[in-house]
Amino acid sequence: MSAAPHRIPFFRKLFYALICMGAVGLCWWLSVRSIQQGRASVSPALPAQQTVAQVLGGLILLSPEQMVIAPEVDGFQWPCGAPTGAMIYDAQPFGALNEKRHGHHTGKDLNGIGGQNTDLGEPVCAAGRGLVVYSGVPSDEWGHVVVLAHRIPGEKGIVQTLYAHLNTREARVGQLVDRGQRIGTIGTANGKYLAHLHFETICSLSTEAGMRGYHPSGVMNRMNPTELIRNYPAPPTPDPYAEVRRVRAREALMQDPSPTPAQIPGEHGVVPVRPQEFTTL
């Protein structure tokens, strides 16, 4: 006579099932928490294949390629009016408290000496030799914006210059521009303000286009543009190697006729950067 099969009591089955369900739930909660923490932190070490990444608060993290390609400056000049700062005035200084906007101004509002809209459509030039890392419209308040990345000889990190409220943009992401090269025109952010250039200098590894132009506690990671230009003044003569770099870049493009990243549209003009597109001395 064979023994009757052993049966697990119902309550013991229920107990085992609850344990299994709890373990699955705990694993799911830990995975979700890990993902959320990963989104809340920006690691400086990115995979080599990653280029431009959208991260928190509208920030766009610079890729390793962009940080390498960003050229050294030979100095900085004023982006509108005369390179030395003549023919413009500062309508709202850096760090000035604006009670209406509940914060300190993170840049300078550069106006033509005629005031009002007399400088509408006037050229905006690169303050220094740089790489275009943003060209787009982050919000209605900002209008057209161009951001350049630069490296200062002997210094670590990236310095950016931001040009906002433009009427037109004449620079594309991935383009290498020379100091004094035209990148747009002075605008009004589609009629929101009187014509002027909102100009910022920033220490950051993210292009902060679209972030607050006023901050309640100070100016965050912004630098005073006047001090930057005073500490690293542009030489009185144009860059002697600018035309050589342009010729070599055209030669490289002729050898590789495939579409360049700058010809591939993307959100807000953001496109991947391909290092071999640029040929520098």
Structure tokens at 2: 């064979």
Q: What is the pLDDT of residue 3?
A: 53
Structure tokens at 271: 């496109």
In a domain, 256, yes or no: no
In a domain, 274, yes or no: no
Low-confidence ranges of the chain (pLDDT < 70): 1-13, 26-58, 219, 238-243, 245-246, 248-281
Q: What is the pLDDT of residue 63?
A: 87
In a domain, 162, yes or no: yes
CA distances to 23, 32, 40, 42 from 29, rounded to whole Å, are 10, 5, 17, 22
In a domain, 19, yes or no: no
Structural domains counted in the chain: 1
Q: What is the pLDDT of residue 196?
A: 94
> Which residue shows structure tokens 């000035």?
96
Q: What is the pLDDT of residue 33?
A: 56
Alpha-carbon Rg for the chain, nearest whole angstrom, is 26
In a domain, 12, yes or no: no
Q: What is the pLDDT of residue 213?
A: 73
Q: What is the pLDDT of residue 48?
A: 31
pTM, two decimal places: 0.68
- DSSP class per residue in the chain: -PPPPP---HHHHHHHHHHHHHHHHHHHHHHHHHHHHHHH---S---TT---EE-GGG-EEPPHHHHHHSPBPS-B--SSSSTTSTTEEEEE-TT-EETTTTEEESSEEEEETT-TTTTTT-EEE-SSSEEEEEEE---TTT-EEEEEEEB-TT--S-EEEEEEEESEE---TT-EE-TT-EEEE-B-TTTTSSSBEEEEEEE-SEE-TTS-SEETT--TTEE-HHHHHHHSBPPSS--TTHHHHHHHHHHHHHH--SPPGGGS--GGG-----GGG----
In a domain, 248, yes or no: no
Q: What domain range is 166 assigned to?
A: 65-238
CATH code for the domain in which residue 101 is found:
2.70.70.10
In a domain, 150, yes or no: yes
Strand order in the sheet with 214-215: 97-98, 103-105, 214-215
Q: How many CA atoms lie within 13 A of 10 on its CB side?
A: 0
Q: What is the pLDDT of residue 130?
A: 95
Q: What is the pLDDT of residue 31?
A: 57
CA distances to 130, 251, 275 from 50, rounded to whole Å, are 21, 27, 13
In a domain, 244, yes or no: no
